[in-house]
Structure 1
Amino acid sequence: MLERFSAQARDAVTAAHDQARSAGAGSVTSAHLLAAVVADPRSIACVALAAAGTDPAAVARAARHTDDGIDADALAAVGIDLAAVRAQVEHEFGAGALDHPHARARRRLAFAPDAKKTLELALREAVAGHDRRIDPGHLLLATTRLEHRAPAARVLAACAVDVAAVRTQVERQRAEHPAA
């Protein structure tokens, strides 16, 4: 399926894998894909998100701080702000202090079920739009269609992303820049 991805979309998938590996995650999640998709300020996804009224950098930060296997919502329910804890630990012990010691190992990570679903939905978005290639806009739209428990869906909800506005902006960007 990766042969159907544009160069930008392939780069985003590779960046998501690298990010997951460097964070010591057990797999690549939809949050890793979301962070990678909005990292390039020239991508359709990033431009559309900004045009829809959401700060792409804030989404990327939130997505990068979605910890694999840790339920931030459950911790918040008992008064623990996971992002604040991570920030304090990194302030005291340095950036990356919570990363696994073997995080830099060149191992291949599997895609978590929610990340696989994101890739499948991106393909469906491209087919529905009669597009020949899957681009970062399709990947962003795919994250908006995930089940609410998926990491990327939780990030989008936490950042109060207006899904309808994002869809409109992705379509507008695609119309203005058909080769993108």
Structure 2
Amino acid sequence: MFEFFTDRAKRAIVASQDEAIALGHDFIGTEHLLLGLAATDDSTAWEALTAQGLALVPLRAETVRVLEAAGVPSTGGQPAKDALASIGIDVEEIKRQADSAFGPGAFQYPRPAYTPRAKKVLEATVREAAALGHERFGTGHMLLGLLAAGEGGRALEVLAALGTPPSTLRADLLPRLTPAPE
């Protein structure tokens, strides 16, 4: 499926993974996808978010607030590291050796997994692009997928807390997606 994503959309996905790791989360949720889209400068999603007054730093701060209020810990994958340590595997030593052999940051453990809701966003991305007659999926389609994914997503909580209704963002975004994705 990822072969149909544009380069900018792929960068947004990587940025969402980076945001999850930076925040110490061992999962990628809708809130991380939103941050990844906000971090992808000069993309359709970034333009629409910026037009609504939404920038990466306040989005990140609100994401942290929403997650803390929900009691979501920033574990940095510690439970997985502890489990491996209990059977004699030193993740930090593996990281040091990988950094030495391949360069700093070459080894990230654990790799955050997508939450079921984040997977639904990616599925909705495909449907949104198809509804517009597009064969490739860009950041704008990802943002539409995020908005269409339904209630309960933390990304929508973040948007609501910052005073941006999904319908307003969608109305701003749709004209930006014609005729083709970036």
Q: Which residue of 1 aligns with 2:162?
A: 159
C-alpha RMSD of matched pairs (Å): 2.7
Cα distance in 2, alignment partners of residues 2 and 155 from structure 1 = 26
Cα deviation digits, residues 40-79 of structure 1 (max 9, x gap): 231111211233x332333344235543xx4x15x7xxxx
Cα distance in 2, alignment partners of residues 143 and 162 from structure 1 = 13
Q: Which amino acid aligns with 2:161?
A: A
Cα distance in 1, alignment partners of residues 34 and 5 from structure 2 = 16
Cα distance in 2, alignment partners of residues 169 and 123 from structure 1 = 19
Q: Which consecutive residues of structure 2, in runs of 5 or more, have no partner in the other structure?
A: 82-104
Cα distance in 2, alignment partners of residues 48 and 63 from structure 1 = 19
Aligned pair in 2 of structure 1 residues 128, 66: CA closer, same or farther (>3 Å)?
same
* Conserved 8 A contact 1:34-1:63: no
Cα distance in 1, alignment partners of residues 137 and 123 from structure 2 = 10
Q: Which residue of 1 aligns with 2:113?
A: 110
- Equivalent of 1:140, from 140, 143, 163? 143
| TM-score using structure 2 length | 0.72
**Greater Rg over alpha carbons, structure:** 2
Aligned pair in 2 of structure 1 residues 64, 135: CA closer, same or farther (>3 Å)?
farther
Q: Which amino acid aligns with 2:180?
A: P
The Cα shift of 1:13 comes to 0.7
- Equivalent of 2:176, from 169, 173, 177? 173
| TM-score using structure 1 length | 0.72
* Conserved 8 A contact 2:134-2:181: no
Q: Which residue of 1 aligns with 2:21?
A: 21
Cα deviation digits, residues 110-130 of structure 1 (max 9, x gap): 111111111111111111111
Q: Which residue of 1 aligns with 2:33?
A: 33
Cα distance in 2, alignment partners of residues 131 and 61 from structure 1 = 34
Cα distance in 2, alignment partners of residues 126 and 99 from structure 1 = 35
Cα distance in 2, alignment partners of residues 158 and 174 from structure 1 = 26
Paired residues, what number? 153
Cα distance in 1, alignment partners of residues 137 and 77 from structure 2 = 35
Q: Which amino acid aligns with 1:148?
A: E
Cα distance in 1, alignment partners of residues 34 and 122 from structure 2 = 11
The Cα shift of 1:20 comes to 1.2
* Conserved 8 A contact 1:144-1:156: no
Q: Which residue of 1 aligns with 2:127?
A: 124
